[in-house]
Amino acid sequence: MGKSLEKVKHTFLFCDGGSCRKAGAEQVSRAARLYLRNEELWDEVHTIKTRCNGRCEDAPTCIVEDGHFWYKNLNPEKVVELIKSHCENGEPIEEYLVYAREWEQVRSDNERGTFKIKPFEWKDDPYLGRCQMTKGLSSDQYLHPLFDYLYRNAPSTVYETAQGDQLTFSELTEIRFEKDIELELITENKEIQLVIGPVRKDEPHLEKGKIRNTYYFYRESTGQVGVRFSDKKNELIGHLFLGTSEGNAWSYCTRVQLQNNKLQEVSV
């Protein structure tokens, strides 16, 4: 039977991402649900496990959505305290907060600086020769949108595997990201699987093909632009070669994927 949502006064969103799980998130959410059930607050408070909340340095984290309160460094004892405070007093516990609506800044004990893409640099690449290159981001939150954009907007894009097999995006019938970690490039005759999601410790065989490094490049000898993928040991997984007539695809890469990072005095 579904929950009667009209009775819900508070919603707790417990991060279930990798860093939070390592820091004890499962014990935190279990303690919260145990307390809610036995204190007969189950109908009043709804709990949800989410993917990564984006505050790994503050793990385990939880967001309470009766006021946009972000909590940090939780444990089973703290989570029971904050449930009591929200339910009995309608107040957050400020000591445990990392952020609340209208605060001017985050209050983290372990704040990390915002990641910034480095400028393009000239390099002598073992695969491509003289290139301008920079390293992008390799999580599924970046790679899935990249492949989807190119599929929909840049049909002359070519994906080439480390073994030299090629697939032109105009051949694609579908890009599918329904499995936990594998992005599938599907044509009528073939299918290429790319590991882009988080690999669990009990699946070490998938680590070899996991995209850990994503490099954007401009090849001096040909004017070719594209993207290189490699694994944890920086061994080649494959290349994306963007069509030279599709400048919008490269513009998307530099604008969205690379935070408005531009090549050095080269028009593409």
* CATH fold label, 121-257: Heme iron utilization protein-like fold (3.40.1570)
- Assign 178 a pLDDT band (cuts: 50, 70, 90): confident
**Percentage of residues in the chain having pLDDT higher than 70:** 97
Q: Encode the chain in three state secondary structure.
A: CCCCHHHCCEEEEEECCHHHHHCCHHHHHHHHHHHHHHCCCCCCEEEEEECCCCCHHHCCCEEECCCCEEECCCCHHHHHHHHHHHHHHCCCCHHHEEEECCCCCCCCCCCCCCCCCCCCEEEEECCCEEEEEEECCCCHHHHHHHHHHHHHHCCCCEEEECCCCEEEHHHCCEEECCCCCEEEEECCCCEEEEECCCCCCCCHHHHHHECCEEEEEEECCCCCEEEEEECCCCCEEEEEECCCCCHHHHHHHHHHHCCCCCCCCCCC
- Measured CA to CA, the distance from residue 5 to residue 85 in angstroms comes to 21
- Measured CA to CA, the distance from residue 89 to residue 85 in angstroms comes to 5
Where in the chain are the domains?
Answer: 5-100, 121-257
Would you state the pLDDT for residue 1? 55
- Assign 266 a pLDDT band (cuts: 50, 70, 90): low
Instruction: For residue 155, list its beta bridge partners.
Output: none
Would you state the pLDDT for residue 172? 97
pLDDT digits (tens, 9 = 90+) for 116-129: 899 999 999 988 99
**Residue range 5-100, CATH number:** 3.40.30.10
Axis-axis angle for helices 76-84, 25-38 (nearest 10):
40
- Assign 137 a pLDDT band (cuts: 50, 70, 90): very high
What does the pLDDT average to over 137-164?
Answer: 95
Among 8-17, 97-106, 200-209, 213-222, the least confident range: 200-209
- Assign 13 a pLDDT band (cuts: 50, 70, 90): very high
What does the pLDDT average to over 152-171?
Answer: 95
Is pLDDT larger for residue 145 or for residue 263? 145
pLDDT digits (tens, 9 = 90+) for 79-101: 999 999 999 999 999 999 999 99
> For the chain, what is the mean pLDDT?
92
pLDDT digits (tens, 9 = 90+) for 211-262: 999 999 999 999 999 999 999 999 999 999 998 767 799 999 999 999 999 8
Is pLDDT larger for residue 199 or for residue 147? 147
Would you state the pLDDT for residue 268? 58
